[in-house]
Amino acid sequence: MLKKLPPFTKSFYFIFGLFFLVWMLFVDSNDLYSQYKLRKKLSDLQGERDYYLEKIEEVEKDRQELLSDEDLLEKFAREKYLMKKKEEDLYIIVEEN
């Protein structure tokens, strides 16, 4: 069976090159599968980064609106943090689904 192979396949350099190629593609810590996983993770993290950047922009916009309008600030504090004035009573109505 070995006699049917071309002569260059018996060369030390060919065997070593083939071994090196197999090692780098499948065995090394930076093999193809690891590279695929790292690229997928990078893509996921970039997506998360974009999401959080959008959320930061929304929060900054809301912050600017709240700091510029006293009535809106009072409404936000009452609704979100259930704040009230001293002479008021607060009733929370929870709707059941």
Instruction: Say whether pLDDT at 81 is over 90.
Output: no
* 6: in domain: no
Confidence grade of residue 37 (pLDDT, cut at 50, 70, 90): very high
Give 42-54 pLDDT, tens digit per residue. Answer: 999 999 999 999 9
38: its two tokens: 């790292």
- Domain assignment of residue 52, yes or no: yes
| Structural domain contains residue 97 | no
| Assigned domain for 20 exists | yes
Token digits for 34? 């690891």
> Which segment of 6-15, 53-62, 65-74, 81-90 scores lowest on mean pLDDT?
81-90
Please, which pLDDT band fits residue 1 given cuts at 50, 70 and 90?
low
What is the C-alpha separation between 94 and 97, in angstroms, rounded?
A: 10
**Residue 54 domain-assigned?**
yes
Write out the residue range of the structural domain in which residue 52 sits.
14-81
Query: What's the pLDDT at 2?
Result: 66
Domain count, the chain: 1
